[in-house]
Amino acid sequence: MLLYARVNILEGKAVRLPRGDVADAIFLDADPVGRAVSWVALGADRLHIVDLDAAAFGDHRNADLVRDLINAVDVPVQVGGGARSPHEVERLLGAGADSVVLGTMPIVDQVLFWEVCRDHPGKIVVSLDVQPDEEIAIEGWQTKSGMYLEEALIEMSSAGAAGFMIAEVGRDALQEPPNYDALVRTLSIVEEPVVAAGGVRNMDDLAALKALETNGRTLSGVVVGREVTQGRFTIEEAAALIQRETDAGPWSFEELQASLVRYREASSEATDTAGVEAFLAWLEKQ
């Protein structure tokens, strides 16, 4: 599983969105480029840029900044936000983006989406913002699409999407768990790579996502950003967990961590897991 570091850009600055609404954006850093370079140096495998001005307002004021971000790092960079025409897709790929992330175009103009995928094979990733009832939101979470997850996945896979990014509308990633059901459902429907893009609360969530599996398929990546900013864990810690292949008897270390997370959530008797956590902490050092 690859570690993607997210950089949300709004008015030339790095921000975080507690629940995805640009009106609630929290300023983080006046130097998005320095932020991106630092995260890659600390172990991020990929950079995931979201141009919020373009996504929410159709304003491409950050075009030069996006190019600077791409040129500043030596890992593949994918860019999303406001690319709703072939011209914008070509502009971002021309700026050096490894792939372009589309969320609105695949829903509102499926014919155009087919053409873009045909013209740029392997370069178009679809971002699906999933509501609790699995309806897809578009235009920076501003509009309900009327299309639901399964239908969207089937249509876009057929069109030639190179991969899928799944996020949850209205979820505060620092307080609420990932939507594991939506991720499992996605893995079971499409063969393309699937990335968990909604963020995680802590290392337990990260371990659970790594261990997530259905029909032999696992997630190809996870996006982090606000969790690091809030001090939940570091990029180094996340990269170490994702890359670790420690075995613990018949189970991997990550499977044990994920099982502990599921036990806490499912059992009314899960009041004292300190002993198990102490064991996992010891095991991690072996």
Task: Give the closest residue to 147 by CA, choosing from 103, 177, 194, 197.
Answer: 103
Question: What is the Cα gyration radius of the chain?
Answer: 19
The tens place of each residue's pLDDT in the chain, 286 residues long, gives: 999 999 999 999 988 776 666 777 778 888 999 999 999 999 999 999 999 998 888 899 999 999 999 999 999 999 998 898 999 999 999 999 999 999 989 999 999 999 999 999 999 999 999 988 999 988 766 677 789 999 999 999 999 999 999 998 877 778 889 999 999 999 999 999 999 998 899 999 999 999 999 989 999 999 998 778 677 888 999 999 987 654 445 566 666 667 666 666 666 555 555 666 666 666 666 5
Give CA–CA dist 172/182, Å, rounded.
16
pTM: 0.81
Residue 278: the pLDDT is: 65
Q: Which residues contact 90 (CB under 8 A, 6 or more apart)?
A: 120
Alpha-helical (H) ranges within the chain are 32-41, 52-57, 63-72, 86-94, 105-108, 110-119, 149-159, 180-189, 203-211, 226-229, 235-243, 253-266, 274-284
Beta strand 26-29 pairing with 99-102: unpaired
Residue 247: the pLDDT is: 46
The CA-to-CA distance between both ends of the chain, in Å, stands at 22
Dihedral in degrees, nearest 10, Cα atoms 169, 174, 179, 184: 120
Residue 197: the pLDDT is: 94
Q: What's the farthest any 2 CA atoms get from each other in the chain?
A: 57
Residue 56: the pLDDT is: 82
- In three-state secondary structure terms, 34 is helix
Q: What is the pLDDT of residues 9-21, one digit of tens each?
A: 999 998 877 666 6
What does residue 271 show for φ and ψ, rounded to 5 degrees? -95, -20
Q: Which residue has the tokens 């810690």?
A: 237
* CATH class as words, domain 2-243: alpha beta
Residue 264: the pLDDT is: 64
Give CA–CA dist 154/150, Å, rounded.
6
Domain boundaries of the chain, sorted by first residue: 2-243, 244-286
Residue 7: the pLDDT is: 94
Identify any residues that bridge with 164 across adjacent strands, giving them in sequence order: 126, 194
Q: What is the pLDDT of residues 92-105, one digit of tens each?
A: 999 999 999 999 89
Residue 117: the pLDDT is: 98
